[in-house]
Amino acid sequence: MSEAASTRTSVALLPSLAPLLHQWLPRQRWFAGKGSHVAGFSLVSATELLPLQGPGPGLLHLLVRVRQPDLATTHAAADCYQLLIGVRQTLPPVLAPSLIGHVAEGPLAGRTVYEGLHDPRLSAVLLERLRAPGTLGPLRFDRFDRAPAIPRGLLPRPLDAEQSNSSLVYGDTFILKLFRRIHPGPNPDLELPLALARAGCERAPVPVAWYESHAPEPFTLGVLQPYLRDSRDAWMLALEALAGGRAFDKEAHALGRVTAEVHTALAHALPTVRLRGAQTEQLAAAMTQRLDAAAKAVPALVPHVPRLRAAFDAVAVLGRHGRAWIAQRVHGDLHLGQALHCSTDGAWSVIDFEGEPARPLTERRRPQPAVRDVAGMLRSFDYAARTHRPWNPTWAEVCRDAYCEGYAAACGTDPREEPELLRAYETDKAVYEVVYEARHRPDWLPVPMAAICRLAAAP
Ligand SMILES: Nc1ncnc2c1ncn2[C@@H]1O[C@H](COP(=O)(O)OP(=O)(O)OP(=O)(O)O)[C@@H](O)[C@H]1O
Ligand SMILES: [Mg+2]
pLDDT tens-digit map of 349-405: 999 999 988 888 999 999 999 999 999 999 999 999 998 888 888 999 999 999 999
**pLDDT of res. 162:** 87
Q: Considering only CA atoms, which of 110, 112, 146, 150 is closest in space to residue 130?
A: 150
Considering every ligand atom shown, identify the ligand nearest to the alpha carbon of residue 165 and give its number: 1
**pLDDT of res. 4:** 45
From the alpha carbon of 165, which atom of ligand 1 is closest?
21
CB atoms within 10 A of CB 60: 24
pLDDT band, residue 3 (cuts 50/70/90): very low
- pLDDT above 90 as % of the chain: 86
**pLDDT of res. 44:** 94
**pLDDT of res. 105:** 93
Mutate to test the pocket of ligand 1, among 167, 183, 187 (most ligand atoms within 8 A of CB): 167
Name, in order, each residue with C-beta under 8 angstroms of 282's C-beta and a sequence gap of 6 or more. Answer: none
pLDDT band, residue 217 (cuts 50/70/90): confident
pLDDT band, residue 2 (cuts 50/70/90): very low
Ligand 1 pocket: which residues have CB below 6 Å?
Answer: 159, 161, 163-165, 167, 175, 177, 205, 225, 227-228, 231, 233, 337, 340, 351-352, 354
**pLDDT of res. 196:** 98
Q: Which residue CA neighbors atom 17 of ligand 1 most closely?
A: 352
**pLDDT of res. 392:** 85
List residues, by chain if needed, whose CB lies under 5 Å from ion ligand 2: 352
How confident is the prediction for the chain on average, in pLDDT? Answer: 94
Q: Which residue CA neighbors atom 13 of ligand 1 most closely?
A: 161
Considering every ligand atom shown, identify the ligand nearest to the alpha carbon of residue 164 and give its number: 1
pLDDT band, residue 224 (cuts 50/70/90): very high
Mutate to test the pocket of ligand 1, among 28, 163, 208 (most ligand atoms within 8 A of CB): 163
**Residues 79-101, mean pLDDT to the nearest whole number:** 97
CA distances to 37, 49, 187 from 327, rounded to whole Å, are: 39, 42, 19
Strand duo 181-182 + 231-233: pairing: unpaired
Give the CA radius of gyration of the chain. 24
Mutate to test the pocket of ligand 1, among 340, 345, 353 (most ligand atoms within 8 A of CB): 340
| Gap from CA of 205 to ligand 2 centroid (Å) | 15
- pLDDT above 70 as % of the chain: 96
Backbone angles phi, psi at 86, to 5 degrees: -80, 145
> CB–CB of 397/378 below 8 Å?
no
253 vs 348: CA distance, rounded Å: 12
**pLDDT of res. 5:** 46
| Gap from CA of 352 to ligand 1 centroid (Å) | 6
Mutate to test the pocket of ligand 1, among 170, 228, 351 (most ligand atoms within 8 A of CB): 351
Does the pLDDT value for residue 417 go beyond 70? yes
pLDDT band, residue 1 (cuts 50/70/90): very low
Considering every ligand atom shown, identify the ligand nearest to the alpha carbon of residue 349 and give its number: 1
For 311-362, the pLDDT digits (tens) are 999 999 999 999 999 999 999 999 999 999 999 999 999 999 999 888 889 9
Q: Considering only CA atoms, which of 456, 449, 434, 451 is closest in space to residue 312?
A: 456
**pLDDT of res. 454:** 94
Does the pLDDT value for residue 261 go beyond 60? yes
